[in-house]
């Protein structure tokens, strides 16, 4: 496959995330250019076009597929629209990066995975945590025995809600409607992180509640708008047993206005790994080592480890992942099978909450 080719990218959904992470970084992250944007709200597509110097805009994915010559689509639309968009893009034989979750059910995501295989195109599912430098360093440290035998993992993946801290000129009400919610918006990150480090999950249990049934938008074009937010829980405490027998805990939701809890800690028989900074800022995790043979115990901040993975510029790094997979004809780092495993966990969480029991997970990656 030619490697100096400039890849043509189309961005679907011109909301907060596309404007903040994808559109400004396409040319910085890869040998690629944005040739078109699409949004069902035409003014948003038009505005993004002008702001980022994109030559074409569309108000429908179908029209864009028909008229525009592109190689890779990034689906950054609202959560509820992903499956239909992804099926249309894959049916057209285009490579695809999908925002999370790529589909509402495991069966639908399997349909997308099989279609991508049949069409011989690459399919990447974000979030991007398996590409992170600190996560890869932690993986290596665990493998090298830095904390002895790893025993359990704890992730705190929270913020105060999309209406609370994220500036957007789009009404955030959809985050609290069926098909969206804190679990699929935030829980997906925590679940991807813990499974990247500890592998597939065997079973889960979960407690959940609505902590705030009525919210008020605090910034942006819809500042002051009241949102009824009592339909879906906004706080989930997910416990899990991994297939390797170890255990984990993901605390996730829209229910922490602020926190000083580390986002992630991994405990082992001889130490701890602690991630204390926001996730794009951690160079390497802090490391606590208990080493009686050398009379040492305490925290260190490693400034390198044997393998120093590359630094990520933005969450558009997923473009680098798909282009490498296309050019080298191999699987991407951000596989849809991993996304499907996380999706199965999220789909079974309501059953775990209602039954108060442990629920088995069947998929793997």
Ligand X SMILES: NC(=O)c1ccc[n+]([C@@H]2O[C@H](COP(=O)([O-])OP(=O)(O)OC[C@H]3O[C@@H](n4cnc5c(N)ncnc54)[C@H](O)[C@@H]3O)[C@@H](O)[C@H]2O)c1
CB contact at 8 A, 254 and 214: no
Contact between 13 and ligand X per CB under 6 A:
yes
For residue 6, what are the CA distances in angstroms to 21, 196, 249, 337? Answer: 20, 31, 42, 28
What is the pairing mode between strands 226-228 and 271-275? unpaired
Mapped onto helix, strand or coil, the DSSP state of residue 139 is helix
Contact between 96 and ligand X per CB under 6 A:
no
CB of 289 to ligand X, least distance (A): 32
Stretch that binds ligand X, among 72-80, 103-111, 138-146, 305-313 (CB under 6 A): 72-80
Contact between 124 and ligand X per CB under 6 A:
no
Contact between 16 and ligand X per CB under 6 A:
yes
Bridge partner residues of 359 (DSSP): 204
DSSP 144: T
Query: Which residue in the set 30, 48, 54, 61 belongs to the binding site for ligand X (CB under 6 A)?
Result: 61
Contact between 182 and ligand X per CB under 6 A:
no
* Residue 66 CB contacts under 8 Å (≥ 6 apart), including other chains: none
CB of 187 to ligand X, least distance (A): 11
Contact between 323 and ligand X per CB under 6 A:
no
Contact between 77 and ligand X per CB under 6 A:
yes
Query: Which residue in the set 48, 49, 85, 227 belongs to the binding site for ligand X (CB under 6 A)?
Result: 85
CB contact at 8 A, 79 and 185: yes
Contact between 316 and ligand X per CB under 6 A:
no
Contact between 14 and ligand X per CB under 6 A:
yes
Q: Which is nearer to ligand X, 126 or 146 (CB)?
A: 126
Contact between 94 and ligand X per CB under 6 A:
no
Contact between 15 and ligand X per CB under 6 A:
yes
DSSP assignment of 217-282 equals: --SSTTTT-EEE--SS-SEEEEEEEETTS-EEEEEEES--SS--S-SEEEEETTEEEEE-S-TTT-
Stretch that binds ligand X, among 33-41, 134-142, 247-255, 355-363 (CB under 6 A): 33-41
Q: Which residue has the tokens 């296309």?
A: 326
> Which residues of this protein are in contact with ligand X, per CB under 6 A?
12-18, 38-41, 44, 61, 76-79, 81, 85, 99-100, 126-127, 168, 170, 185, 315
């Amino acid at each position: 496959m030619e490697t100096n080719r400039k890849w043509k990218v189309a961005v679907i959904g011109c909301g907060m995330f596309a404007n903040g992470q994808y559109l400004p970084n396409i040319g910085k992250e890869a040998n690629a250019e944005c040739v078109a944007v699409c949004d069902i709200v035409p003014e948003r597509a038009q505005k993004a076009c002008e702001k980022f110097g994109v030559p074409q805009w569309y108000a429908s994915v179908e029209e864009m597929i028909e008229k525009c010559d592109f190689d890779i689509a990034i689906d950054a639309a609202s959560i509820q629209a992903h499956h239909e968009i992804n099926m249309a893009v894959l049916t057209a034989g285009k490579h695809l990066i999908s925002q999370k979750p790529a589909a509402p059910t495991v069966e639908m995501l399997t349909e997308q995975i099989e279609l991508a295989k049949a069409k011989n195109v690459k399919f990447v599912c974000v979030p991007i945590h398996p590409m992170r430098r600190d996560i890869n360093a932690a993986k290596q440290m665990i493998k090298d025995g830095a904390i002895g035998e790893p025993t359990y993992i704890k992730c705190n993946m929270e913020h105060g809600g999309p209406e609370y801290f994220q500036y957007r000129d789009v009404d955030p009400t959809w985050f609290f409607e069926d098909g969206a919610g804190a679990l699929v918006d935030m829980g997906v990150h925590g679940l991807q992180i813990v499974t990247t480090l500890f592998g597939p999950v065997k079973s889960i249990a979960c407690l959940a509640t609505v902590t705030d049934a009525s919210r008020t938008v605090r910034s942006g074009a819809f500042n002051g708008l009241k949102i009824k937010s009592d339909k879906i829980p906004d706080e989930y405490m997910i416990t899990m047993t991994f297939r390797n027998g170890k255990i984990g805990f993901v605390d996730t939701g829209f229910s922490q206005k602020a926190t000083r809890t580390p986002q992630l800690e991994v405990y082992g028989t001889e130490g701890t790994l602690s991630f204390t900074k926001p996730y794009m800022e951690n160079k390497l995790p802090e490391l606590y080592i208990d080493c009686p043979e050398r009379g040492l115990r305490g925290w260190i901040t490693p400034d390198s480890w044997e393998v120093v993975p590359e630094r990520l510029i933005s969450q558009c790094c997923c473009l680098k992942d798909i282009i490498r997979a296309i050019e080298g004809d191999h699987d991407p780092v951000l596989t849809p099978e991993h996304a499907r495993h996380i999706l199965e966990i999220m789909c079974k969480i309501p059953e775990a909450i209602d039954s108060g029991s442990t629920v088995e997970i069947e998929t793997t990656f």
